[in-house]
Chain A
């Protein structure tokens, strides 16, 4: 529904306000939305309430401190925070330093491109709709996979994993990356 309005979502605007203006009111709204979800998300994998809150605190502080790394042309806010949460959870629970890919170099002085931001949001909306339309058992597999409840062997053998919708997101994302890198030359 928001797809047709062609407006950048309030969530993204809040995160941009945190990134560019260190806006505490915007951060407070992001906290109210994400912190309870993050706690639920972290507790799903068996972490107790107290430790889950410590991780939530670390994640929200990382959102504030590393806001400069938020790039809405590549990831929407939830996707970005999801990755921060998984990293932190692995560092704390498994006591490992999770290997992360090199950051993609931003073209110097790159102008934010609203149409690219909207494209990311639109695709995320399509992904959300597609997941919502799945049969409950299929949706549960997806949830378990991304909550980290399946081993890599289990993910590999899950033939029911409906990755088709993710495939189109990959293709569009690749086009955007190529576009960004072209500008970087």
Chain B
């Protein structure tokens, strides 16, 4: 949390934060929201508030009878040794949640054309999430325009019809938004991008080649 903090102007919409706190977001989106919260005090406060609301619901939910042995088996395990789980710290521009998925290692970039590189963090039916590296002046690879799409800037910035997105800013797009994000001059733009539609690169790779690229 410490260190320089640029002014974040594009935040996680409240409904997405509520869904994240409630555990209703698929993993690709949850990774982007967790990363944004890591960079953004406003959204951390909102996340805390949604947890408070969840706590109130937990207080009011009807209880269920427990097996008689449950309590004693918990108490029997209180002193059992535990292997501490690794804690992944932020590294460079990559927030802790991204470092966890990268298993603490730097991203392994694959070129996708035009100087653009990507590193797929996870890809499944429910959606995918990847890191993108976009040189200044290059377009962010064609977004799916087909479902929800979250893009969090980690380095540099990009601009599109809706405005400018700098470090920590989150762009939320869906099929109603027709936009062409382009990396601004300066440092290459690195972003974390999640979508619930299959990834597509209409402008860069012929459709037939897509299976080869796992996109």
Contact = CB atoms under 8 A, between A and B. Distances in A.
Interface of A: 24, 27-28, 31-32, 34-41, 43-44, 49, 52-53, 56-57, 60-61, 64-65, 74-83, 85-87, 89-90, 94, 96-105, 120, 123-124, 127-128, 131, 142-143, 145-148, 150-152, 155-156, 158, 161, 163, 166-167, 169-171, 173-174, 176-178, 181, 184-185
Given A105-B1, A152-B29, A127 B52 contact: yes
A121 B118 CA distance: 45
A42 to B, nearest CB: 9
Given A57-B73, A99-B34, A155-B19, A127 B2 contact: no
Contact of B66 (A53, A74, A131, A176): A53
B54 A52 contact: no
Interface string B43-73: 0111111111111111111111111001101
B102 to A, nearest CB: 12
Contacts of B19: 145, 150-152, 155-156
B74 A150 contact: no
10 contacts: A27-B78, A36-B63, A40-B63, A53-B66, A57-B77, A86-B21, A99-B97, A101-B96, A151-B24, A177-B44
Contacts, number: 225
For the residues of B in contact with A, the DSSP-based class is helix
Contact of A145 (B18, B27, B96): B18
B31 interface: yes
Contacts of A152: 15-16, 19, 24-26, 29, 148
A128 B59 contact: yes
Contacts of B97: 99-102
Nearest to B59: A78
A90 to B, nearest CB: 5
